[in-house]
Amino acid sequence: MSVFETIIYEIQDNVGYITLNRPKALNVYNIQMRDELFQVLGAVKDDSEVKVGVLRGAGERAFCAGADLTEFLTAPSPTIARQVRWQRDVWGLFLSINKPMLAALHGYVFGSGIEMALCCDIRVVSDDVQLGVPETGLGIIPAAGGTQTLPRIIGRGYALELLLSGRWVKAEEALRMKLVNRVVSREDLWSEVDQLARKIKVHDANVLSYTKQAVTRGLDLRLEQGLELESRLGASLLEEMMQEEAT
Amino acid sequence: MSYSAIICDKRQDFVIITLNRPEAGNAINQQLAQEIGEVCQQINQDDEVRVVVVTGTGDTFCRGSELAVPCGVVAAVAGLEQPVIAAINGDAIGQGLELALSCDIRIAVNEARMGFPQVTTGLIPMDGGTQRLSRIVGRGKALELLFTGEIISAGEALDIGLVNKVVDRETLISEAEALAEHLAGKAPIALRYVKEAVSKGLDLTLEQGLRLEADLYFLLHTTTDRTEGIRAFQEKRSPDFKGQ
């Protein structure tokens, strides 16, 4: 397994653990992390040994406090930056992983940090968590999918409030908004997420993949098309099952 | 410009539009519709306006409409490019609730009640209610409210995410003003782009929405506010955004 500078990637019992590992810098997202995340997410996507992915942050204070702004003012021209964005589409890759992805969130979860968590399917947080999207206060908007993923998860009303105001929310309010699935204590966070990963990974990999596809792609379709997608995916599972029984 | 059915109070960075027909529960009529249309058009052409607040005189936000058909009030408010805060000072019923739903952030007083009673008179909401309600509270709760015509309390509205916050009547306007000032301190173009990315993005596939977000993000690279925002953060001071 290759060694990364900003990320630890380990596979244990069919669970791929991605740990953001710049604890001294509150795990802020920089170009190096982008490149390493791109490799790791590709591995999670392609490696059949990995059935479930877990994203978490090292250190006491933060899952990820956002993007490394020191790199922002040296950014290339808008046209070059845009070109690079799509040449190495880390968020598109993240969202294309048809495996359950769990986020274990603690401490500061801001900007790119919350956006990474929103690329996951299930979010478990510790009771010390603080989440926010501060971009409009920096003269920018989210760029890791936040304006798209957030309203799809918590609805237009809450999403616009958080995105426009940059307000921080704590665990209980995040739970009420359905921004997170579960709140646990700090010391139980990783073990709770492990337990959830174990509960999910016993299921057939195709079943998990098709379930995720049916829900996420289905939400982008008209209901009629979504129902067609669901029955097509279901039928191919039945077919696989019958083939297995026949052999 | 002087108005009779609304009050338009222009402050430093934001505008408060107050529906001003208290004797009629601030119901929408032709005059009010025309004035709202005019003021919204002006606001969209005025770069100084960073945030808009919509509220009502008296103890009703808006009890509905006196007109048989939609008259453009909701569409005019929904067409504002700036963040719009609804300061719901009392009942928001029928078209009044549709007006509140066309705003971006909703703060309501404890006593406010909300609902779509149209079903009881053999009608459906005609000014975006069936579309915007489900996009805010989800399909299940939306259909329940639309089918039953039930009028719910501010507390229930908070529980289902129909309003963002519930406050005492005495503090409503100061809360709304404080939020407007807070938003006015953010980068104006970024605020507009966030609103556009969320509102238009929900009509797109996720993939198309991500493209829209990225394009707007890179457009902001050309603004001086972006440099100011990042510098201010690094220098640990408040940014001074010019909307440029």
Complex ipTM: 0.91
Alpha-carbon span B165 to A226, nearest angstrom: 34
The angle, 0 to 180 degrees and rounded to 10, between the axes of the packed helices B224-234 and B188-201 is: 110
CATH topology of domain B188-234: Lyase 2-enoyl-coa Hydratase; Chain  A, domain 2 (1.10.12)
User: Which percentage of chain A shows pLDDT scores above 90?
Assistant: 89
Tell which residue, A141, A151, A69, A76, has the closest CA to residue A118. Answer: A151
- What is the model's pLDDT at position B1? 65
Q: Is A87 a residue whose pLDDT tops 80? A: yes
- Per-residue pLDDT, averaged over B120-124, amounts to 88
* pLDDT: which is higher, B213 or B121: B213
Nearest to A167 by CA among A102, A114, A105, A91: A114
| Average model confidence (pLDDT) across chain A | 95
Which residue from B152, B147, B18, B129 is spatially nearest to B75, judged by alpha carbons? B129
CATH class assigned to A7-201: alpha beta
| Measured torsion, CA atoms of residues A70, A74, A80, A83, in degrees rounded to the nearest 10 | -10
Residues in chain A closer than 8 A to B176 (CB atoms): none
| Residues of chain A positioned with their CB less than 8 A from the CB of B218 | 78-79, 81-82, 85
Task: List the domain boundaries for chain B.
Answer: 6-184, 188-234
Q: Which residue of A has its CA nearest to B201?
A: A148
Per-residue pLDDT, A178: 94
Q: Taking 70 as the threshold, does the pLDDT of residue A1 lie above it? A: no
Write down the pLDDT at residue A50. 97
Which CATH number is B6-184's, of 3.40.50.720, 3.90.226.10, 3.90.550.10, 1.20.1260.10? 3.90.226.10
Taking residues B28-41, what's their average pLDDT?
A: 96
Closest-CA residue of B relative to A165 is B183
* A182, pLDDT greater than 90: yes
Q: Are A131 and A169 in contact (CB under 8 A)?
A: yes
Which residue from A minimizes the CA distance to B189?
Answer: A139
**Cα distance between residue B50 and residue B85, in whole Å:** 12
Contact A83, B223 (CB under 8 A): no
Domains B6-184 and B188-234 belong to one CATH topology: no
Active-site entry in A5, A60, A71, A115: A115
Average of per-residue pLDDT across A84-107: 96
pLDDT value at B220 more than 60: yes
The domain spans of chain A are: 7-201, 205-246
Mean pLDDT for chain B overall: 95
Instruction: Report whether pLDDT(A44) > 80.
Output: yes
Encode pLDDT of A104-145 as tens digits: 999 999 999 999 999 999 999 999 999 999 999 999 999 999
Determine what percent of chain B is predicted with pLDDT higher than 90.
93
Look at residue A18 in the predicted model and tell me its pLDDT.
Answer: 98
Is the per-residue pLDDT at B128 higher than 80? yes
Which helix (H) or strand (E) covers residue B100, if one does?
A: helix B95-101
Q: What is the mean pLDDT of residues A67-87?
A: 89
Q: What is the pLDDT of residue A244?
A: 85
CB contact under 8 A, A139 and B219: no
Evaluate if residue B89 carries a pLDDT over 90.
Answer: yes
The tens digit of pLDDT for each residue in A188-221 reads 999 999 999 999 999 999 999 999 999 999 988 9
Contact A139 B195 (CB under 8 A): no
User: Residue B9 — very low, low, confident or very high, per pLDDT cuts 50/70/90?
Assistant: very high
**Can you give the pLDDT at residue A2?**
59
Tell me which chain A residues have a C-beta less than 8 angstroms from the C-beta of B217: 140-143
Distance of residue A182 Cα from the nearest chain B Cα, in angstroms:
18
- Model confidence at A72, in pLDDT bands (50, 70, 90)? confident
Percent of chain A with pLDDT over 70: 99
pLDDT tens column, A134-173: 999 999 999 999 999 999 999 999 999 999 999 999 999 9
**What pLDDT does residue A246 have?**
85
Q: Exactly one of A135, A173, A192, A239 is catalytic; name it.
A: A135
Q: Does residue A135 carry a catalytic annotation?
A: yes
